[in-house]
Amino acid sequence: GMGPGGAALDGGEGGAEASFVAARPASKRGEAKSKLALQDEAVPESQQPAQELEDLKEAPFFSMAALEDADFAKKIGIVYGALFVFPSLPISLITYPLFEAPIQAILSANLGATVVTFLFLIRLYVGWSYVGDRLEKDVGYYEESGWYDGFLAVKPPEVAQRDQLLYQFEVKPALDRVIKFMLLGTASVAASIALFNVAAPSDPYDYLSEDYLQRVRQDDGAAMMETRRSASGKPTYCDSRYYKAVAGGNGC
């Protein structure tokens, strides 16, 4: 029989069951589907959960999560090392010159690289979690050509079973691996913050207010007074690149 809006109602045996099939425009995609595709011509192959998994495993960086723990740890180590060398270390050297404050410079660069590596792990988790969610669900949302013709499609039983197996044997191990390293990353970030606070608990130049530095920059007399206060014969702020730049370098 016909339901509201022209939808077809197919009665089951004895009328006990009925399935609702929403009307939507016929698909314009005539290409053959791969073995990974749902048997629905309106569902683009690139949006098939199984195909999305294949694409994820071939994507740069995301494929790392499919490696064994030891290989994954090596890849994460490479990411951390690259971030440490650039840009973390060059940025930290702006505040902590390597030959004047090497420990602070290294710990500062380590903190920056560790935090960004942790964010990288979160991004891996989000990508794999999204595909895993698509594989687990028996009903998926698809867009034939854009947001304006989106629709829901029910997976056939054999496709749903296959997707569940893909989740259990490919996605879940990858997610568990990423979560494990995220926990290690959390501990690493906390340890890095603690070490950095021990090495550089506070800015030794924080007693120099912005107003004072502005006056030193504009007043040669104030710069000379600061010079006399310093036992080394130069203003105290000269030891800091930041405050030296703010003060205009007067007296240094």
Rounded mean pLDDT of the chain?
Answer: 79
- Examine residue 134 and state whether it is found in any structural domain, yes or no: yes
Q: From 55, 58, 62, select the one nearest 120 (Cα to Cα).
A: 62
pTM for the complete prediction? Answer: 0.68
Distance CA 124, CA 223 (A): 52
Q: Are residues 216 and 104 in the same domain?
A: no
Instruction: Examine the pLDDT at 181 and tell me if it is beyond 90.
Output: yes
pLDDT of residue 249: 66
Q: Are residues 90 and 113 in the same domain?
A: yes
Of residues 168 and 144, which shows the higher confidence score? 168
pLDDT of residue 14: 41
Query: Token pair for residue 62?
Result: 């995301």
Instruction: Examine the pLDDT at 124 and tell me if it is beyond 90.
Output: yes
What confidence tier does 179 reach under pLDDT thresholds 50, 70, 90?
A: very high
What confidence tier does 72 reach under pLDDT thresholds 50, 70, 90?
A: very high
Q: Are residues 226 and 112 in the same domain?
A: no
Tell me how many domains the chain contains. 2
- Examine residue 67 and state whether it is found in any structural domain, yes or no: yes
Distance CA 36, CA 162 (A): 10
Q: Are residues 80 and 186 in the same domain?
A: yes
- Listed ranges 14-23, 35-44, 111-120, 221-230; the one with the highest mean pLDDT: 111-120
Q: Are residues 82 and 153 in the same domain?
A: yes
pLDDT of residue 208: 61
Q: Are residues 220 and 175 in the same domain?
A: no
Distance CA 196, CA 202 (A): 10
pLDDT of residue 146: 72
DSSP state letter for 33: P
Secondary element (H or E) of residue 215: helix 210-218
Q: Are residues 87 and 136 in the same domain?
A: yes
Distance CA 54, CA 62 (A): 11
Distance CA 243, CA 212 (A): 11
- Examine residue 131 and state whether it is found in any structural domain, yes or no: yes
Q: Are residues 237 and 148 in the same domain?
A: no
Lowest mean pLDDT among 157-166, 180-189, 191-200: 191-200
Q: Are residues 185 and 237 in the same domain?
A: no
pLDDT of residue 141: 84
Are 30 and 15 a contacting pair, CB within 8 Å? Answer: no
Distance CA 63, CA 197 (A): 36
Residues in the chain: 252
Q: Are residues 228 and 150 in the same domain?
A: no
Q: From 241, 122, 138, 102, select the one nearest 189 (Cα to Cα).
A: 122
Lowest mean pLDDT among 94-98, 130-134, 147-151: 147-151
Distance CA 144, CA 150 (A): 6
Instruction: Examine the pLDDT at 40 and tell me if it is beyond 70.
Output: no
Sign of the CA dihedral 217, 219, 224, 229?
negative
Distance CA 179, CA 109 (A): 24
Lowest mean pLDDT among 21-25, 36-40, 138-142: 21-25
Of residues 207 and 168, which shows the higher confidence score? 168
Q: Are residues 60 and 141 in the same domain?
A: yes
pLDDT of residue 142: 84
Distance CA 93, CA 206 (A): 19
**Domain around 193:** 36-199
Instruction: Examine the pLDDT at 231 and tell me if it is beyond 60.
Output: no
